[in-house]
Structure 1
Amino acid sequence: MTQTSSLPSRISGYWDTRAEGYSLRTIDEFDSGEGDRWVERLTRLLDLPPSAKVADAGCGPGFLALAAARAGWQAVGFDASPGMLDEARKNAAALGLAVDFIEADAAALPVRDGALDAVLSRNVIWNLPDPLRALRDWFRALRPGGELFYADGNHYRYLEDDAFARLHQTEAVPYGHSEKFMLGVDTSPMERIAGGLPLTHQDRPGWDVEALLECGFTDVTVFEPVLVKVTDPKTGKESALIRDFMVLAKKPV
Structure 2
Amino acid sequence: MADESVEESGASQEDLGASQEDLGTSLEDTVRACYAGWSGGYFEQYHGDKAAYPPVHRDIIAGLLDAAGAGRVLDAGCGPASLLRCLGAPGRTLYGFDLTPEMVEEARRVMAPLGLPPERLWVGSVTRGEDFAQPDGPYDAAICTGVLPHIPEQDDPRVLDNLRGCLRPGGLAVLEARNEFFGLFTLNRYTMDFFEERLIRPDALRPRLGGDAPALDAALDGVRAMLRTDLPPRRAGYDEILSRAHNPLVLRQQMEQAGFRDVRVLFYHFHCLPPMFEQLMPATFREASLAMENPEDWRGYFMASAFLLAGVRA
Under a length normalisation based on structure 1, what TM-score does the superposition of the two structures give?
0.71
Number of equivalences: 222
Say if 2:172 and 2:312, in contact at 8 Å, map to a contact too.
yes
Q: Corresponding residue for 2:170?
A: 145
User: Could you tell which deviates more after superposition, 76-85 or 109-118?
Assistant: 109-118
**Equivalent of 1:126, from 146, 149, 162?**
149
CA contact (8 A) 1:118 1:147 kept: yes
What CA distance in whole angstroms lies between the structure 2 residues aligned with 1:126 and 1:212? 16
1:83 maps to 2:102: yes
Q: Counterpart in 1 of 2:267? A: 224
* Matching residue within 14, 18, 28 for 2:48: 28
Pairing 1:60-79 to 2, within 5 Å after superposition? 60-70=79-89, 72-79=91-98
The range that moved more, 120-129 or 135-144, is: 120-129
Provide closer, same or farther for how the CA distance between residues 91 and 36 of structure 1 changes in structure 2, counting only shifts above 3 A.
farther
Call closer, same or farther: CA 1:152–1:71 in 2, change over 3 Å: farther
Report sequence identity in percent. 21
Distance 2:229 2:39 in 1: 24
Mapped contact 2:40–2:106 kept (Cα < 8 A):
yes
CA–CA separation in structure 2 for the residues paired with 1:71 and 1:218: 27
**More relative contact order, 1 or 2 (CA 8 Å, 6+ apart):** 2
Residues in 2 aligned to 1:224 and 1:36: alpha-carbon distance in whole angstroms: 10
- Computing the radius of gyration from Cα coordinates, the structure with the larger value is 2
1:213 corresponds to 2:256: yes
> Which moved further from structure 2: 80-89 or 19-28?
19-28
Shift, 1:134, TM fit: 0.8
- Bigger helix fraction: 2
Task: Give the distance between the partners of 1:37 and 1:240, measured in 2 at CA.
Answer: 17
Task: Report 1:191-210 matches (<5 A).
Answer: 191-194=239-242, 199-200=244-245, 202=246, 204-210=247-253
Answer yes or no: is the 8 Å Cα contact 1:57–1:119 preserved in 2. Answer: yes
User: For residue 246 of structure 1, what is the aligned residue in structure 2?
Assistant: 308
Shift of 1:72: 4.5
Structure 2 unmatched runs, 5+? 1-17, 195-223, 276-300
1:159, distance to aligned residue in structure 2 (A): 6.4
**Partner secondary structure for residue 96 of structure 2:** strand
Residues 227/30 of structure 1: CA separation in 2 closer, same or farther (3 Å cut)? closer
What is the CA distance between 1:98 and its match in structure 2?
Answer: 1.7
